Amino acid sequence: MPKPTLAQQVEGSKKFFREMNALGITGIVDGGGVSMYPSSYQTLFRLWQDRQLTVRIAYHLCAPKPGSELADLQNLTQLLPQGFGDAMLHFNGPGEILIWAAWTDGDITPDGKARLAELLRWAATKGYTIQLHWNPDRTVHDLLDVIEDINKDVPVRDLRWTVLHLYDASEDSLRRMQALGLIWGVQDGLYFAGERLQKAVGAETARQMPRIATAMQLGLVVAGGTDAHRVSSYNPFVSLQWYLDGTTIGGVTTRGEAEAPSRRQALEMYTRNPAFMAHDDGERGTLEPGKLADLAVLSADYLTAPVNEIGKIRSLLTTVGGKVVYAAPPFAEGR
């Protein structure tokens, strides 16, 4: 199929952001990723320049190609200091693929680990926040070893680095992450792949994955999310329902109640904690006097609705900075 023109991409993105607003979404952290090159963001920048964004966005910059990751990121970020932008759109650092050798979820080679260490040390000295794709737990010690070594010279706790995915994180790995001040980004991938995990590791082991409750008890900041929309649902309420009941799209409950967050904790995974991840926690993420008027009036009470009905919740009214960006009946009347 022919590639959409810039005008078509702009219109398509506006409609997609409106769909996000219809689900109560007022801001996102875009982690970067496969096939997300610098040119992919031109549509976003056009909407921002024309003041047509209806979702606040903190975006990350993925390494464009294997083999020259550090040089490419050093070049591309020369005019992109951490936080560059405004309240609607800002640069939140490199991610989520920093070294392609670490992305395949296999065993990272000694050379790949050395290049990862060099890149992460550069990011730390530049004060960049990062997001980093990593699976599985059996190899995450390689990553944590590197970060612990960097932390001896350049403290990383205040940089708000995030490890994404890692659905099978062990308690030991979570303890090491907490000690470094890392954030754990837990997407809803197992809502779609829980049965596959259960088959791979056994039903009893799968009941502990992901260890959300354990991570929170250890004091780790755990952020929710949906990963790429081409592999997952962008609906936050589908994710919230899965965080609470651990039941897959196929109706199989793979995770046990012991690792489930409370309703409030799950909600904070989608509000307060991503705002912290984006360095926006002083302005949004909670409803408090003095913060931006980013809020949604929902079709049902999330805190009391039956858990198996949470995935059906939508927004009736969504505002960003006090401006109405989506309205459904009865709020749509007269608009």
Beta-bridged to residue 187, according to DSSP, are: 225
* Cα separation values, 92 from 115, 224, 230, 275, 277, Å: 22, 17, 22, 12, 9
Give the DSSP H/E element, type plus range, for residue 182.
Answer: none
Residue 334 pLDDT: 56
Give the separation between CA 88 and CA 10, rounded to whole angstroms.
16
Enumerate the β-bridge partners of residue 184. 163, 222
pLDDT at 335: 59
DSSP 247: B
3-state secondary structure string across 65-111: CCCCHHHHHHHHCCCCCCCCECCCEEEEEECCCCCHHHCCCCCCCHH
CB 94 within 8 A of CB 31: no
Show Cβ contacts of residue 152 under 8 Å, excluding neighbours closer than 6 positions: none
User: How many separate helices (H) and strands (E) can be counted in the chain?
Assistant: 12, 10
Residue ranges per structural domain of the chain: 6-327
Closest CA to 184 of 170, 204, 202: 170
CATH number for the region 6-327 comes to 3.20.20.140
Distance (Å, whole) CA 293 – CA 243: 26
pLDDT in tens, the chain (335 residues): 899 999 999 999 999 999 999 999 999 999 888 878 888 899 999 999 999 999 999 999 999 999 999 999 999 999 999 999 999 999 999 999 999 988 767 789 999 999 999 999 999 999 999 999 998 999 999 999 999 999 999 999 999 999 999 999 999 999 999 999 999 999 999 999 999 999 999 999 999 999 999 999 999 999 999 887 777 889 999 999 999 999 999 999 999 999 999 999 999 999 999 999 999 999 999 999 999 999 999 999 999 999 999 999 999 999 999 999 999 999 986 55
The structure tokens listed for 212 are 């959300």
Q: At CA 225, angle to CA 248 and CA 91, rounded to 5?
A: 160
Query: Of how many residues is the chain composed?
Result: 335
The one-letter code for the residue type at 323 is: K
CB 32 within 8 A of CB 67: no
Distance between CA atoms of residues 18 and 94, nearest Å: 27
pTM of the complete model: 0.96
Q: How far is CA 34 from the centre of its chain?
A: 15
**pLDDT (0 to 100) of residue 106:** 76
- Residue listed under structure tokens 């408090």: 288
What pLDDT shows up at residue 34? 80
Distances (CA, A) of 45 to 9, 86, 152: 12, 12, 38
DSSP string, 8-74: HHHHHHHHHHHHHHHTT--EEEE---TT--GGGGHHHHHHHHTT---SEEEEEE---STT-HHHHHH
Cα angle for residues 119, 121, 127 (degrees, 5° grid) = 105
The answer to whether the CB of 263 falls within 8 A of the CB of 277 is no
